[in-house]
Structure 1
Amino acid sequence: MTQTSRYQDRYPIVVTPDIRACQAFWEQRLGWQCGFASSWFVWLCADDGSASLAFMAPDHPSAPPGPEPFGGQGLCFELQVADAAAAHADFLARGGVAGLSLRDEAFGQRRFGFRDPSGLWVDVVEQIEPQTGFWDRYRV
């Protein structure tokens, strides 16, 4: 039996006064598409629809209670890809600057990372084989 989800979409909203800079960054550096834009809110999605993200101005009266402007700490937006080297090359070719250069991690990821104009850290990862024995010390 197939169960239908009660959720139609799931995405974080980053509260920032820089929604236009964020929109331009995600469109230009990552090739994401704008699905909705207004003076106070922008919703973007990956070109294949696999992920989405929104940015909201902090001073709009329809903002839900609680989300203060994002200060760039305490959140990592993970983008898993099939080929991190290709994603890295594409990001650089589009004018992106990586804050973490492309590397293979002993725990089993090939990755690079960067911050967008809101300060959001974006970690782009490809799952690879971990270094032999790396996880042994963490097994119970």
Structure 2
Amino acid sequence: MNHSLTLRRSDMRLRDHYPIVVTAQKEESRDFWQRYLGFRTVFDSSWFTLMAHDGASIAFMTPDHPSAPPGSKTFTGRGVCFELEVDDVDKAHAELTGKGASVTYPLSDEPFGQRRFGFADPCGLWIDVVEQIEPEAGYWERYMQ
């Protein structure tokens, strides 16, 4: 007998969804996302910040607050990427570097069909800014077998 939980589309209605990054750099991360990425603060306290921009949301939480979800650990900057897809990556790159953002992965055309650049925020979260472009001819065929 299979006891796994199966949710149909109508069983659970989401009101919101966002990652919570547990970090001691809550304020620095909040300020960074406001200054460089245009996110606005929806809620802010000494221990939690929720931010949003054009349908995307992210939250930052200090590691010492008792309301931290069970199992959450302080983020170490590894294993997570926050993808920001834009219409014009060259314009986004010019805007961000014009504001002084330190881009550590240069503007690049990738063979799999993205033009992108990247950098990390103060807590180490990797931010990948991408525009979809045509992949190199035949690139995806080897993965579609």
The TM-score, its normalising length taken from structure 2, stands at 0.89
1:35 and 2:42 are equivalent in the alignment = yes
1:77 aligned residue: 82
1:136 aligned residue: 141
1:54 and 2:96 are equivalent in the alignment = no
Identity %: 54
**What SS does the aligned partner of 2:94 have?**
helix
Q: Residue 65 of structure 1: CA displacement? A: 1.1
Distance 2:13 2:138 in 1: 41
Gaps of 5+ in 1: none
Q: 1:18 aligns with which of 16, 21, 25?
A: 25
RMSD: 1.4
Distance 1:136 1:64 in 2: 42
Give the aligned length: 136
1:113 aligned residue: 118
1:93 aligned residue: 98
Letter in 2 for 1:69: T
Distance 2:22 2:31 in 1: 16
**What SS does the aligned partner of 1:136 have?**
helix
Structure ID, larger Rg: 2
Moved over 4 A (4+): none
**What SS does the aligned partner of 2:93 have?**
helix
**What SS does the aligned partner of 2:108 have?**
strand
Q: Residue 33 of structure 1: CA displacement? A: 0.5
The TM-score, its normalising length taken from structure 1, stands at 0.93
Post-superposition Cα deviations, 1:32-58, rounded to whole Å, max 9, x if no partner, equal 111110000001111x3x201000000
Q: Residue 4 of structure 1: CA displacement? A: 10
Letter in 1 for 2:49: V
**What SS does the aligned partner of 1:73 have?**
coil
Gaps of 5+ in 2: 1-9
